[in-house]
């Protein structure tokens, strides 16, 4: 069962990379436009999931100090930079090469995270 789940993830990842490469080639946008557009689209499910999972009540109890805000802002900046670099790579290489690079990064991440947790991958 585990292998079928991994196969599904790789098949979906491959479809996603090929489709997004097609969209990058056919829809004329700046790289930053793509980054902001995809992040804006991600706000839609976030707006639905936040109240349905009760996260809004957890956020209300957070004490917003420097130790909380700075890691949050750093995480946002790093995420936007990763998205920007991924779209730059998609523009530069073929869909096949981007898929190979993406899968190798995922496998490398799993290998590294598995070594950090005593041999168990955290996926």
The DSSP-derived string for 4-39 is HHHHHHHHHHHHHHHHHHHHHHHS---HHHHHHHHH
Q: Choose between 110 and 32: higher pLDDT.
A: 32
pTM of the model: 0.67
Tell me the pLDDT band of 113, cut-offs 50, 70 and 90. Answer: low
- pLDDT in the model for residue 87: 87
> Per-domain residue ranges for the chain?
2-116
Measure the CA dihedral 13/47/74/63, to 10°: -140
Tell me the pLDDT band of 114, cut-offs 50, 70 and 90. Answer: low
- pLDDT in the model for residue 89: 87
Q: pLDDT tens digit string along 8-19?
A: 887 887 888 788
Say yes or no to pLDDT of 97 above 90. Answer: no
């Amino acid at each position: 069962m585990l292998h079928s789940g991994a196969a599904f993830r790789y098949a979906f990842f491959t479809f996603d990379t090929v489709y997004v490469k097609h969209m990058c080639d056919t829809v004329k946008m700046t790289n930053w436009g793509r980054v902001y557009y995809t992040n804006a689209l991600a706000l839609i499910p976030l707006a639905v999931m936040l109240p349905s999972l009760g996260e809004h009540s957890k956020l209300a109890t957070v004490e917003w100090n420097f130790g909380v805000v700075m890691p949050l802002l750093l995480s946002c900046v790093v995420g936007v930079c990763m998205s920007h670099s991924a779209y730059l790579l998609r523009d530069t290489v073929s869909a096949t090469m981007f898929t190979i690079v993406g899968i190798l990064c995922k496998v490398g991440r799993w290998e590294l995270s598995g070594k950090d947790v005593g041999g168990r991958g955290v996926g």
